[in-house]
Chain A
Amino acid sequence: MSESKVSLQETSEQGVGRRELLLRSAALFGAGTLLSSSLSAQTAPTDLTLLNFALSLENLEAAFYTQGLAQFSSTDFNNSTFIQNFGSVISGDVYAYLSLIRNHETQHVRSLQALITSLNGTPVKPCTYNFGYKTADDFITVAALLENTGVMAYDGAMSQISSASLKTQAATIATVEARHASYLSLLTGSSPFPASFDTPATSTAILAAAAKFITAC
């Protein structure tokens, strides 16, 4: 049921110490504004902080797809173990659908950058990432993890956003991340919709999970 939750815990506990993860999460944000505000429970994060939190995740996702789609070909995905139980209709579209997901993440990045700038903020820059995949199957597994994490992040942040219009924007991104997550979970052989309610996660938990993939920032 809580597949994505389990994966999230695995990610945050794998090898790297909590302190190290928090330091890397802080690096993700330069000044680490979100981290400090989410660690002191009393201070609610501002919309600008939340937008930069979302942007840091979207930066990571956009880089992930751009790298993977440059590294693997349509044939690699067609030959992956995951795809073997699906017919040609689904297997033939995998590369195109992953490209479409990359386009969505890139558009989320641009839209968030524009919103942050319009609020007189400074958009966080992408970091250097290492996603650790070797095969097309690995890539799909990490993709499913990232998208399910994205859903948890947006669901968790929703009630903290002050502006109603930003809340709607976040909702319309959250449901797109959920569409990606459903498709990618299906490909990995997991349930596309494992629970009646998705699980919201705190920004601290999400940042700790994301930090695993960051090598320099």
Chain B
Amino acid sequence: MTNTETKKSTSRRDWFAGSAALLGAGAITSILARAQTGTGSVTNDINILNFALRLENLESTFYSQGLATFAPRDFQNSVTVQRIGGTKIGANIVPYLSAIGQHEQDHVTKLIQTITALGGTPQPVDCYNFGFKTADDFLQIAQALENTGVQAYDGAIAALQNPNLQTTAATIATVEARHASFLNLLNLSLPFPTPFDTTQTMTQVLATAGQYLTTGCTPKPIQLTYAQAGPTKHAIITTNQSTVKLDASKSTSANGQPLTYLWNQDLGSPLAAIINLTFPQATAILMGGPGEYSIALKVVDSFGNADQDVIKIIYQP
């Protein structure tokens, strides 16, 4: 094991040395101020979830940027993947990284939903500069982020008051640990360096994350992938025309990438025909005469996150 221990220490040392190069102290302080305001167990839990959301947003953006920057062959031909050798890893590296990116996006969605359900306001997305130039850089930063994620969740779980949230956090922590194990292995570090993982406090984690945050841009507000088929969600439209324009342009995409749209007639309605049924702007021809028509819209973003809306059209000629 001595051999692997040595291989391991290099990249971890780089990471911890790198984390010393932080943003100005002011940025960190303001992050902490946001994370630690308020009292009471719900507020406490919301703050911890927002802290987790901040990390998951960082990770999710990191993977979507990296997968958009590098082609599959960049990963396959990287020093890291070539050095590991064999056919198994090279053939799967892109699917594996995509799966990790998808997991982080799913964690973001789950955390936003949970924070919102608790009456909290989800933390806006930060601006990032990950500074990777090559696929090898990317894989090393990925390793560092996932191991920090494990330490962050391990440090935060016991501070959550709501037992259901503890379970959610645990089932995320173990997934981050699976990612970390794989990325360690890829970077010639020990996949499981210690019998017990170490924990980090929020302050330590945010200081580490701080090196990837940039100033000078306006943070984007959090948005979910969201379907809206009419002027409002679940709109009821009354018309005397047998042709109705459908407009889904108020729908939003969580990752900013284009949505796919699908209009559909709900079962049980009088017969309608839909023109341009995979476009944000479509037209419904109300063929079944006067009555109530139910038209559904499903939108899916490039990560596969979906949302639906149903509008009711009351046709009274």
Contact = CB atoms under 8 A, between A and B. Distances in A.
Given A165-B158, A179-B180, A179-B181, A193 B168 contact: no
Interface residues of B, number: 54
Interface in B51-108: 83-89, 96, 99-100, 102-103, 106-107
Given A93-B4, A196-B106, A200-B167, A168 B158 contact: yes
A100 B157 contact: no
A175 B191 contact: no
B150 interface: yes
A101 B170 contact: no
Interface stretch (B195-203, B233-241, B243-251, B290-298): B195-203
Given A90-B185, A186-B185, A176 B100 contact: no
A135 B100 CA distance: 32
Given A172-B196, A192-B182, A196-B107, A85 B171 contact: no
A141 interface: no
Nearest to B165: A159
B312 interface: no
Contact of A178 (B83, B86, B174, B188): B174
A180 B184 CA distance: 12
A167 interface: yes
A122 B11 CA distance: 42
Contacts of B158: 164-165, 167-168, 171
Interface residues of A, number: 54
A60 interface: no
Given A104-B192, A175-B150, A196-B106, A86 B88 contact: yes
A168 B107 contact: no
16 contacts: A85-B87, A90-B84, A104-B192, A154-B174, A156-B167, A160-B163, A174-B170, A176-B192, A179-B184, A179-B197, A180-B192, A183-B185, A183-B192, A192-B181, A192-B182, A193-B175
Interface of A: 85-91, 93, 96-97, 99-101, 103-104, 107-108, 111, 151, 154-156, 158-160, 164-165, 167-169, 171-183, 186, 189, 191-193, 195-200
Interface of B: 1, 4, 83-89, 96, 99-100, 102-103, 106-107, 110, 150, 153-155, 157-159, 163-164, 166-168, 170-182, 184-185, 188, 190-192, 194-199
The 5 A-B pairs of least Cβ separation, nearest first, read A87-B85, A87-B86, A196-B106, A159-B163, A178-B174
